[in-house]
Structure formats: C-alpha cells, structure tokens
Structure 1
Amino acid sequence: MSLRNLFAPIKLGAHALKNRIIMAPLTRCRATPDDHIPTDIMIEYYADRADAGLIITECSMITPLTSAFYSEPGVYSEEQLTEWKKVTDAVHAKGGKIFCQIWHAGRAAHPAFNNGAENVSATAIAIDGPLRGGIRKLTHVIPRELTINEIGEIVQLFAKAASNCVNVAGFDGVEIHGANGYLIDQFLKDSSNKRTDNYGGSLMNRTRFLFEVLSAVTNAIGSDRVGVRFSPISGVNSQSDSDPEALATYIATEINTFNLGYVHVIRNDSLGVLTDNYLPVYRKYYNGILIGNGKYTKEEADEAISNGNIDAVAFGTPFVANPDLVTRFEINSTLNKPDPSTFFVQGVKGYNDYPKLNFSAL
C-alpha cells in the first residue's frame, strides 16, 4: 500500500506541510465594504481551519476600485495589512500555514462597487449575465481595453501586493489567481482576449501577462513562496477557449521555468456544462507540486494522491461548513452541510457558527 495519502506530509516550496489537505480559496465577503479591511470574525474563521496542511485565503484585491464582490478583502493599504497580520498570527499560533490569494478582477469588477470607476480587461467584451456573489443584482458592463503601459503597471501591482502579504502581513506565501474568468484568465482565454498586439493571438502572446506577473512576483518574494491557480475549462464569468488542451499544455510546460511552490488546477467546470478534464495535462508536463481541486471526496482524493495523479487536494465547500474537516476526515465522521444562502453575506451566520465535533459525546 502506498504511504502517500491525504495525511502524508509534503514539502511545498519553502514550507513543510503536515498533511495534503489544502483549504481552497473561498470568497466569503466578510471584509468591510468600501475600504475592504479584514474583520475580527475572519481571525476566528481562518484560525479554526489551521489543521489544514495549507490555507489559501479568499481572493484579495491588489489595488483599489477593482471589487467584484462588494466586500472582499484587500492587501494594498496599511489598515488591511494590519488586520491580516492578526489572521496570520492566529493561524501560526495553531501551527498552520497560510497563503494569500491575490487577484485583479478585471472585467468582473463593477462600477457600482467601485465609486463609478470603469472596469478593464484584455478586450472590451462584457461578461454575459449577472454578477456572482455581490449583494446587489447587477448585470456586467463592457470593460475598457487595457493599454500596454497599464498592463505593465498591473504587473508591478501584483509584485507589490505579494511583498505586502509576506513582508508586512506575515503570510507564508501567495497564490496568484489565474482562474475563473478574472483578469489573468481574461488574457489567457481566446473568448475574452481578441487583442492584436503582443498580448493577444498566439499562445505565447496570451500567456505573456501571466508570465510577466509570475516573474515580478517571484522576484519580489522568491519562487518557493508562490503558487498559481488555473481553471482550464471553467465557464464561470463567460470564459471559454477554442483549444483548452493546447493552452493547458503550453502553460504547464513553460511554467516549469519559474520553479514555483505549486500549481493549483480546478479540474471541472463548476457550471457543469463541460466534462473534459485537463488536470492530467498538467501532471504530464508540469514538473512540480500539483494540487487538484473540484468536488473530490476524501476517498477519491486519497486514491488520486496514492496513484501519483496529484500531490495534494484543495477542498472548498467542505471547509465552509466544517472548520474541523481534517479531524472529520481522520475519524471518518459525517460532515456538516453548508448553507449556500450565507456564502456571500456579512456576519457570523454561516461563517463561524457551524458546529465542531464534540468528542465527549462520541
């Protein structure tokens, strides 16, 4: 029997993890609106999940006026970083590791959440349909196409955000959000990138922004403290690509030059429309630590790790309702069921009130 399973330790970049149960990034909208400062209830929420091998936080804004969820946190102001430091200290006090997922929403941002500021993207094409998560029912608007100079400025914003996270807020590293139809993914996919300059057209051009961000961030904090997340077939935010296998192959091959801590791949289409799985493409061409995500059961995750198909598994929704998920997995306990109506609202309901195991009653 293989000794590799969810509970086996693993070296991930600069860090030794106690298990391979990763907490996936989960937008929860518990920061303050407008100034996007983490709140006290977030300290308890993350600290309660410190038994995970690694916690990856919800997406956090790298610059003002780019909100897509109204009350997601940021990592660009002193006030935000001060409050995040309370979170990382609490997680570390319990022996946990925590990375911050940093992002730019691009065309998924909405002027209504950003004092009327326009949203931007690779190309001036709007997302089809309503916003995800935000408290108001709004339809997406047409973004403005970024200039070459603006792209370079955003690259540097990613680097500054990464430095803020590690050197000020005390995070163990960062995950760059390259998935689910946000700005980096908007450059990667040809449904949202119709540019005719050096950032559009060929695979080399469409991945140029991603690799420039990776270069800047790894130079800022070290490659072994950096991960990146991709969603090869996710239809979220109107995303699609004419040849997802070619795109996955190119990224998985070229990204080896960065010697990252890990690559994190969402294997499924969360909308349930597409059924292909390009996680094996990353396993074939990417030489580093590969984290899989997408509705894994504990048993399937164990098997995938044992077979070498992936190195660790990120669990999302199960961590929402089960702060003690690692313990529940260890003793094969039943899991609490999450309440989707509380995913993107303020307050402790559906956040810090899920019951933990009572061992005195077992």
Structure 2
Amino acid sequence: MPSLFDPLTAGALTLPHRVVMAPMTRNRADAAGVPGALMAEYYAQRASAGLIITEGVRVSAAGHGPVGQPGLHTAEQIAGWKRVTEAVHAAGGRIVAQLSHHGRIAHPDLLPAGVRPLAPSAVTALSDARTAPGVLVDTVEPREMTPADIAATVRDFAAAATAAIGAGFDGVELQGANGYLLHQFLSDNSNLREDSYGGDAAGRVRFVSEVVAAVAAAVGAGRTGLRLSPASGYNDTVEKDPATTYGLLADALNAQAIAYLHIVEGPDPELPALLRERWAGAVITNPFTGDDPTDPATAAARLDADLADAVSFARYFSANPDLPERIRSGAPLTEPDPDTFHDGEAAGYTDLAAHRPANV
C-alpha cells in the first residue's frame, strides 16, 4: 500500500504526496466576495499540501453562502483569485477551487434584492445561515427551481469552472456534500420533485451528473473533482437509501472519468467503502473522527486498508501551515482554535508559525 508521502496522479492532477488540504469555511473575503492579500498569504503558507482545495466559492450571486464567502462570477473576484493562485504556485503548490451553490441554505439578506434561495423543492431546511460576523439566523422557505433555473445553474457551474482555470487554478472540485445545492437534489427530504430531477434515485442523481458533465466539458474531466458526504445529515439532509443513490451516481461518474471523488465519511463505514468499490478513479477521503481532527495515524490507516488514495485534513491544516512536514518528521501538531475559524483577520489564520526544531 502507498504511504502518505508517495506521489499520486488523479486525472490531470499530479500530487507530490497524499496529504491534502480540505476545504474550510473561513469567511475572509470582502463584501463583494473578492479574495484579498490576506487570503493569498493564507493559501500560500499551506502550499506544501499535496493539493489545496479552497473553501467553498460561490458560482453565482444566487448561490451566495455565508457573509465573507468568496465568489468566482465577477471580474473582480477572478482577479482576486488570480493573486491567490499566483502566490500558491510561486510557493510550489497546487490548488483547486471548490465550486459551491448554497441552495436552500442561502439567506435573502445576502442575495440580490427580491431573490429568494433556490432549491429542488420549496422545503425549509432546519438549519441556519451566517448573515454577519458571528450572526446566525434561521433559513427561510426557498423557491422550487424551474427547469429554466436548473439549466441556468448548470451553466453557472460551468462558467465558474472556466473562470477558475482562467484565474490560474489547477482544477475545480464541485461541492456535492454537506447539504448544499447538489446534495439537496440527492436527498429525499429536500427533493420532493415529481419530474425527471426527482422521484427515484435515478432522478435525484440527474442534476449532479449534469453539473459534472457540464464542468468536465468546460475545463476537462481530468481537472474536475466532486465532493460527496453520503448520509451525513448535515444541513438537514435525509437519505433513505443512500447505497442505491450513491451507487448509481458512481456508475454515472465512471462514464465521465473525472479526476477524483472526495468523500466525507459519516458514521456508517459501508457507504465510503461502497463508493470506493463502485468508483473506478482516485478517492480522497476525509475520515470520520467524531469531534476530533483527523490525525496522521488515522490517515495512514485509510491508505493501508485501501479505502482511499489520499486523505484530506481540515482543522490541523488550519493550525499547522506546514502540516505535511510535521507529519513526515513526527513534530508536534498545534491544536486548532475554533474561535478563529470564521470571520476575523490574521489571528488564527495567517499568524501560525511553521514548526522550528529545538536545535534551530
């Protein structure tokens, strides 16, 4: 079995090792969704990752997530991301943009005037939205997407992917996990549609498959990844038969030959194992560890058991910009501070030093 420090090829992406930086919501973009110098510094500090996957980046104004979320649908946002990718590449790194649409988890306070959140069906999520730093409010009833809305949103994802490559990203990852729009189409309680985008499992996977196909056509299948979180329950998602749904999705994705699947494990270990078996390409896993950050031993165990080809780390990457070297050398890991995860400035974001051995 490979180690965490063996190289990996996933589609058109070549990783020097298998310690991947997971997407993390950090809310540091400006009011227009433009990444600034602080974000460029943050990502460049973590360029030693085998692959950086950015925080969720909205594909349209209608897909706006929490306050401070960056976008990839205006010229200013694209220019801001270009400064980020240039900084990461100058530091020797590789970076993909995670493209996201919040769907029913969005809030009208952050959307264009008069626009309501879009969703597969008009079902309110039992969740909350961050509308200002430190402010969480209940979500509202969304508007059910029409066929025209669906087609336009597919185009939004493809356009954002094209913009990402133009901004210098090495590829894109589609956010199909954690109860956001793509996941909402997969879930029984958020997708009550009776047309070809709902009903049985084949209908519920159609939107995700169409988004993946459109993005792959725009930027290349080898530069396209997809993140999934089967039966996670996050953001009020309920999946009654996830094995059937995700098995069908894996079969559809095999025909498209995208670069990788990024699987967020849940408490049921059989679902990630099912995807590993049904999906022919590379798998990045984000291990289920309860309330604890993923540790190096857990990551190595996933590779040893052939459950994944690479492992993504979130909280430890937030607190340890040089995480791969710390793992390689056995250096102590700095514990993350949840109070600095969201919003704010440099504290807990770019002010975390690389490890220095005692004799240096």
TM-score normalised by length of structure 1:
0.94
Kept in 2: contact 1:53–1:96 (CA 8 A): yes
Q: Distance in 2 between matches of 1:361 and 1:239?
A: 51
SS at match of 1:283: helix
> What 5-or-longer segments of structure 1 have no aligned partner?
269-273
Q: Distance in 2 between matches of 1:133 and 1:18?
A: 39
Paired residue for 2:214? 216
Query: Is 1:229 matched with 2:227?
Result: yes
Paired residue for 2:75? 78
Query: Is 1:289 matched with 2:282?
Result: yes
Paired residue for 1:179? 177
Residue by residue over 1:44-102, the C-alpha shift from the partner in whole angstroms, topping out at 9 and shown as x without a partner, is: 11011111110000000111143221111000111111111111111111211100000
- The amino acid that maps onto 1:93 is A
The 5-angstrom pairing of residues 328-343 of structure 1 reads 328-343=326-341
Paired residue for 1:196? 194
SS at match of 2:251: helix
SS at match of 2:213: helix
Paired residue for 1:48? 45
1:280 alignment partner, one of 273, 276, 282: 273
Query: Is 1:105 matched with 2:95?
Result: no
Kept in 2: contact 1:51–1:324 (CA 8 A): yes
SS at match of 2:244: helix
Paired residue for 1:271? none
Aligned residues: 353
- The amino acid that maps onto 1:84 is W
SS at match of 2:245: helix
Tell me how far 1:246 sits from its aligned partner: 1.4
After superposition, the CA RMSD in angstroms is 1.4
Kept in 2: contact 1:233–1:276 (CA 8 A): no
Kept in 1: contact 2:209–2:249 (CA 8 A): no
Paired residue for 2:156? 157
Q: Distance in 1 between matches of 2:343 and 2:268?
A: 31
- The amino acid that maps onto 1:42 is M
Query: Is 1:28 matched with 2:50?
Result: no
> What 5-or-longer segments of structure 2 have no aligned partner?
none
Out of 128-137 and 20-29, give the one that drifted further.
Answer: 128-137
Out of 294-303 and 16-25, give the one that drifted further.
Answer: 294-303
Tell me how far 1:306 sits from its aligned partner: 2.8
SS at match of 1:290: strand
SS at match of 2:61: coil
- The amino acid that maps onto 1:236 is Y
Tell me how far 1:244 sits from its aligned partner: 1.3
- The amino acid that maps onto 2:235 is N
- The amino acid that maps onto 2:96 is F
Q: Distance in 1 between matches of 2:336 and 2:205?
A: 36
Tell me how far 1:308 sits from its aligned partner: 1.8
Rate the CA distance shift 1:349–1:21 in 2: closer, same or farther, 3 A.
same
Kept in 2: contact 1:5–1:303 (CA 8 A): no
Paired residue for 1:15? 13
Kept in 1: contact 2:61–2:112 (CA 8 A): no
TM-score normalised by length of structure 2:
0.95
Q: Distance in 1 between matches of 2:256 and 2:281?
A: 10
- The amino acid that maps onto 2:214 is A
Q: Distance in 2 between matches of 1:22 and 1:196?
A: 39
Kept in 2: contact 1:102–1:161 (CA 8 A): yes
- The amino acid that maps onto 1:157 is D
Q: Distance in 2 between matches of 1:306 and 1:277?
A: 17
Residue by residue over 1:133-176, the C-alpha shift from the partner in whole angstroms, topping out at 9 and shown as x without a partner, is: 8532211100000000110010011001000000x200000001
Q: Distance in 2 between matches of 1:211 and 1:248?
A: 11
Query: Is 1:58 matched with 2:55?
Result: yes
The 5-angstrom pairing of residues 281-320 of structure 1 reads 281-294=274-287, 295=289, 296-320=294-318
Kept in 1: contact 2:52–2:94 (CA 8 A): yes
Tell me how far 1:359 sits from its aligned partner: 3.1
- The amino acid that maps onto 1:183 is L
